Structure formats: structure tokens, C-alpha cells
Structure 1
Amino acid sequence: MNKKQYLVVDGYNIINAWEDLKVISQENLEMARDKLIDIMTEYGAYKGFYVIVVFDAYLVKGPRKDYEEIRGKNIKVVYTKENQTADTYIEKIISEIGKKHIIKVATNDWAQQQIVLGSGAFRVSARELKIDVELSQKKISKKIKETKIQKTTLDSILDKNTLSKLEKIRRNH
């Protein structure tokens, strides 16, 4: 049986640990959440992880969100229920799927890390996650550049019939 890999992200913990997201959150918390979700969507797709980003609902301004939102094939965003912390939700996820799948939990919360390790899951610090995300982004950018370079030659974008006609024109001149 192939075990599916999950990355569970303690959303606010990571936002507060990553300086760029922390700065954004001081101006606009929703924008910081969206940025983290975008980063995790790309990262999860690249690494082949299913990502679950967990936010404590009590930090959400306006009407309280109490739902799970699927943003793509590889990511789910969870706003915890009232009086439920991200930590308790993460513990619940680990106990539900941890025996069948590989789970990594990204948090800087020391107590949470101990619970994660004690339950058989893996812990990833905010710093470790940031380093791996940045490395992955560089690899993605390199791959995109290589793909663009490959597609700029005529023989890679024109069909054989058109190429043949162009070759005949070239030979006649």
C-alpha cells in the first residue's frame, strides 16, 4: 500500500514565524492567510503532499468561518470550530489518519511538536519549512525557464507540414 503524504500547517503559527507574512498580517491578516495558502498550494503540488492549513477561527474578523475549504486537488484550508484551537484540530487529524499515512506537521509550537512526535507523526519547524519552500520555488522557477526556452524554437511550436513549407521557401531563396 502506498502511503499518502500529508503536510499539516499550523497557519497562524507559520504566519507569525515567517517575517514576510508577519509584516503582511500586521496590515491585512486575510492577505497573509491567502499568501500562505498560495505558497502551500504550489509547494504541496510540487512535493506531492496533500496540504491541510489550519487556522484558529477565533482570529478571523467578521462573521466567524467554521468550515473546510478545498482550494485544489492537493490542499484543504480549515478554520477550527468555536473554542477549538488549531492544536486540538491537528491532534485529531493525526489520530484519524496518522496510522495509515505519513504526516508532517509544520509548527514552531514546542508543546505541539512534542505531541506530534509522540503520536508518530513528523514535525517540521517554521524555519525548516521556509527553507524547503524557497528551495522548491527556485526549482519550479528553473523548470519554468527551461520549459520556456525549449518552446521558443520554431520546430517545437510549428507542425511538421508548416515546417516543411518553410524549409522549401528557405531553400528556394
Structure 2
Amino acid sequence: MKEYLIIDGYNIINAWSELKNIAENDLEASRDKLVQMMLEYAALSGEEVIIVFDAYRVKKRSRTKQKYPKVTVVYTKENQTADSYIEKVIGELDKRAVIRVATNDWAEQQIVLGKGCSRLSARELHIDVQNSRKKMKGSSQKKASKITLADVVDDDVFLKLEQMRRNGNF
């Protein structure tokens, strides 16, 4: 079953202090940071992530999309809010899919729940992202400390190398 995480981009940026601090000086850098964090998160969670940034007040803007592995970044068209785009996408996705929407917007959360999806607050998403990073760091350290030659080469090559080592030819 396909799983989706749809994120109201500016809502999350304004809710997470590390992104909000970046946005005060450079909004584009904060967007890039959120996208980078979600690329890592999507790789670990397996979910398809859609990050929506609205261009509600941007003149003559047409919708644009950037595709990455497991992550799609959408900039809405002029006069379209992220909320309206999210509602539209929810209606278009496979009804059998698991869909979570991350936003702190209470009204949007109610609409999401009414459409059979689950809502995720900015805080809950932040905790998920932090936990996935800890999990990734822990598993990479374990893997690095336990890798042996037998893990890297096939059995025949390993046996030949081991025989050479024992015979002093190595």
C-alpha cells in the first residue's frame, strides 16, 4: 500500500525554530533546508513526500514542481493557497493509500480528517524527523562496526582469500 506525507511547507517552516530562524534572513535557504530534511526522512520512511509552498500572493506565477527521489516540491500557481492544493491532491490520490498531512492549521486538519486522511502537527512531524535521524545514525554506526570481509565478497572469493592468508601468500 502506498503511503504519502503531504506537507504545508510554510506552515512547517514557521513552526520549527531552526527553519524559522533561517527564514528570517533567507526564505529560500529555509525551504531548501526543509526539502533536504524531507529527502532524508523519505529515504528512511519509504513514504512519498509532497511539500507544498503556496504562491498565493506571487504575481503571474504558474504552478511548478521539482521532483526528487521520493519527494516532490510544489509551488502553487498565483492565487492558489497551499491548503486548496493539498485538498485537491488528497482527492486525486489512490483511495487505498495511507495519506498523512502535516500542518498546524486547525481548519485544514479538520478538512484532512473529514476526507479520511490523518493529520500530523508540525511538532509531531519534527519528532518523527528527529527520531528517524537518530535511528539512521545508530544503524550506520552498528553497520560500520560489524562489517567484515565476508560481508563484502561472495563465499568463493572469501574462501580463496582466507586460504591465501593462511598460506602466507597474502
TM-score (norm 2): 0.87
Q: CA RMSD in A?
A: 2.2
Task: Determine which of 37, 53, 63 is the counterpart of 1:39.
Answer: 37
Amino acid at match of 1:141: K
Contact 1:106 1:125 in 2 (8 A): yes
Contact 1:155 1:163 in 2 (8 A): no
Match of 1:67 in 2: 64
Offset of residue 65 of structure 1: 6.4
Offset of residue 25 of structure 1: 1.1
In the alignment, the residues of structure 2 paired with residue 98 and residue 124 of structure 1 have an alpha-carbon distance, to the nearest angstrom, of 19
Contact 2:62 2:78 in 1 (8 A): no
Task: Determine which of 4, 7, 16 is the counterpart of 1:6.
Answer: 4
Offset of residue 44 of structure 1: 1.6
Provide, for residues 151-171 of structure 1, a one-character-per-residue CA deviation record: whole Å limited to 9, x for no partner: 2x455456423332222229x
Match of 1:148 in 2: 144
TM-score (norm 1): 0.86
Contact 2:12 2:122 in 1 (8 A): yes
Amino acid at match of 2:107: A
Percent identity over the alignment?
Answer: 50
SS at match of 1:111: helix
Task: Determine which of 90, 112, 116 is the counterpart of 1:116.
Answer: 112
Offset of residue 21 of structure 1: 0.7
In the alignment, the residues of structure 2 paired with residue 64 and residue 22 of structure 1 have an alpha-carbon distance, to the nearest angstrom, of 24
Amino acid at match of 2:28: E
Tell me whether 1:77 sits opposite 2:76 in the alignment: no
SS at match of 2:167: helix
SS at match of 2:168: helix
- Structure 2 gaps of 5+ residues are none
1:89-168 mapped onto 2 (5 Å cutoff): 89-97=85-93, 99-151=95-147, 153-157=148-152, 159-160=157-158, 161-168=160-167
Task: Determine which of 82, 87, 90 is the counterpart of 1:86.
Answer: 82
The range that moved more, 90-99 or 154-163, is 154-163
Q: How many equivalent pairs are there? A: 165
Contact 1:52 1:78 in 2 (8 A): yes
Contact 1:87 1:112 in 2 (8 A): yes
- Structure 1 gaps of 5+ residues are none
1:59–1:150: structure 2 CA closer, same or farther, 3 Å change rule? farther
Contact 1:150 1:156 in 2 (8 A): no
In the alignment, the residues of structure 2 paired with residue 66 and residue 99 of structure 1 have an alpha-carbon distance, to the nearest angstrom, of 24
